[in-house]
């Protein structure tokens, strides 16, 4: 069972925090296939957040194929999130790249900025539509001097 911790000052939308913490629990093996997620009622009683926020997070996890809702029974984990094993070729390549970056006299922040920039190029930026997504988006826009356009149609239609 996971216990969600909501940080209202993180700038990350609350439902995104639930999604992220669930995925983190899957990665760490704290949640395994067949495990039951807490009910919306249990989550809101402990966190005092709106029930729809929990349902929205669970719907997103369901869309990703990670969990499934069984009517009247609860929401269950369908599959875990496998982290890339330590001996994978991808990791070895990244390792070699990091060594070269160090030789080129980049410091940790330079490397992180470079990596994040490339990451943003190849992967969708998470949470374009969170209620409190302001901080993340602003920071990102400032750091990379990119113009993030306002999403006219944010969020889940429901």
Partner 1 sequence: MTDTAMAATALGKRFGRRGGWALRDCAFRLPAGRVCAVVGPNGAGKSTLLALAAGLLAPTEGGVTVLGTDPASARARVGYVAQDKPLYPQLTVAETLRVGADLNPDRWDAETAGRIVSAGELDPKKKIRSLSGGQRTRVALALALGKRPELLLLDEPMADLDPLARHELMGTLMARAAQYGTTIVMSSHVVAELEDSCDHLLLVGGGRIRLAGEIDDLLGAHARVSTAVSTTAGAAGPAPATGGAPGGPPDLAPHTVVESRVTGRQLTALVRPAGPLAEDWRASTPSLEELVLAYLRNPQAAPLTPAEPEEAAV
**Chain residues that interact with partner 1, rule: CB under 8 A:** 6, 8, 14, 39-41, 44-54, 129-134, 137-138, 141, 145, 147-155
CA distance 96 to 42: 46
The H-or-E segment that residue 96 falls in is helix 89-103
Least CB distance to partner 1 at residue 16 (A): 13
Q: Which is nearer to partner 1, 17 or 26 (CB)?
A: 17
Least CB distance to partner 1 at residue 58 (A): 12
Q: Which is nearer to partner 1, 91 or 143 (CB)?
A: 143
CA distance 21 to 16: 8
Give which of 17, 155, 125 is closest to 6, Cα–Cα. 17
Least CB distance to partner 1 at residue 116 (A): 18
Q: 156 near 56, Cβ under 8 Å?
A: yes
Give per-residue burial for 95-132: e unless 16+ CB within 10 Å, then b. Answer: eeeeeebeeeeeeeeeeeeeeeeeeeeeeeeebeebeb
Q: Which is nearer to partner 1, 45 or 93 (CB)?
A: 45
Least CB distance to partner 1 at residue 4 (A): 12
Q: Which is nearer to partner 1, 102 or 143 (CB)?
A: 143
Q: How many CB atoms lie within 10 A of CB 4?
A: 20
Least CB distance to partner 1 at residue 26 (A): 24
Q: Which is nearer to partner 1, 101 or 140 (CB)?
A: 140
């Amino acid at each position: 069972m996971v216990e969600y911790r909501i940080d209202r000052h993180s700038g990350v939308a609350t439902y995104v925090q639930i999604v992220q913490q669930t995925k983190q629990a899957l990665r760490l093996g704290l949640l395994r296939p067949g495990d039951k997620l807490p009910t919306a009622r249990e989550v809101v009683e402990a966190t005092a957040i709106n029930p729809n926020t929990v349902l929205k997070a669970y719907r997103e996890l369901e869309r990703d194929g990670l969990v499934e809702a069984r009517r009247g029974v609860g929401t269950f984990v369908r599959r875990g999130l496998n982290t890339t094993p330590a001996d994978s070729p991808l990791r070895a390549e990244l390792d070699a790249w990091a060594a070269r970056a160090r030789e080129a006299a980049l410091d940790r922040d330079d490397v992180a900025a470079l990596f994040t920039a490339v990451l943003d190029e190849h992967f969708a930026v998470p949470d374009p539509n969170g209620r409190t997504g302001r901080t993340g988006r602003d920071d990102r826009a400032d750091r990379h001097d990119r113009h993030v356009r306002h999403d006219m149609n944010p969020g889940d239609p429901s």
